[in-house]
Amino acid sequence: MTVWDGDDYQRKFDELAAAGTDVHGEATFVRAYSPSTVLDAGCGTGRVAIELARHGIDVVGADVDESMLSAARDRAPEIEWVQADLTELQLGRVFDVVVMAGNVPLFTAPGSEAELVAGVARHVAPGGLLIAGFSVDRGYTAADYDEHASAAGLRLVERYATWDREPFADGDYAVSVHTI
């Protein structure tokens, strides 16, 4: 299991932003679907959730790592931050969009990917979307993800190679959009 230092992780994004790099591609991608509510599953330090909330979207962030959530709470105490294993997530509500940005499936225990997808999929509202972006060349492929999404009752709507909507052509990264 990876041990994180939330403040150190966030500092890297702060440095990128200070240097002029757009660090909000995932949030921009999600906002294009005009959601009112978003679950940022595997939210880390809250970079995506905080940007979505800044645009008036009701956001909940969930992550298993307390260090990451501590950094998120420090930056945006007004957002609901939930410490939970995403494979067991039970928030008792659904969202217009559930987003897993930043290789979330690759940070779960090997063999638990189907449970991860099922755990977050149960939070997608009818007609809502599950959006996930991750490297598909590290042992968990887009086909594997599609199989797990299908088992969770979702179907693929579109897939891109980047959060900037570049066409997907069997590259090493995929942003997949599934719906109920």
CB burial class (10 A; 0-12, 13-18, 19+) of residue 36? Answer: exposed
Question: Residue 22 pLDDT more than 80?
Answer: no
Classify residue 171: in a domain, yes or no: yes
Which residue in this structure is represented by tokens 């949030």? 27
Whole-angstrom distance, CA of residue 116 vs CA of residue 103: 12
- Give the CATH number for residue 68: 3.40.50.150
Query: pLDDT at residue 5 above 80?
Result: no
Domain of 96 in residue numbering reads as 23-179
Residue 148 has pLDDT above 80, yes or no: yes
Query: Looking at the domain assignment, is residue 29 inside a domain?
Result: yes
Would residue 9 count as lying in a domain? Answer: no
Residue 11 pLDDT class (50, 70, 90 cuts): confident
Query: Would you say residue 14 lies in a domain?
Result: no
**pLDDT tens digits, residue range 160-178?**
999 999 999 999 999 999 9
- Structure-token match 């099922």, residue found: 118
pLDDT at 1 over 60: no
pLDDT digits 0-9 by tens, 60-113: 999 999 999 999 999 999 999 999 999 999 999 999 999 999 899 999 999 999
In-domain check, residue 17: no
Per-residue pLDDT for 53 more than 70?
A: yes
The answer to whether residue 6 sits within a structural domain is no
| Residue 44 DSSP code | T
Whether residue 17 has pLDDT greater than 70: no
Within a domain: 142:
yes
DSSP state of 142: H
161 in a structural domain: yes
Q: How far apart are CA 128 and CA 14, in angstroms?
A: 31
* Domain count for the chain: 1
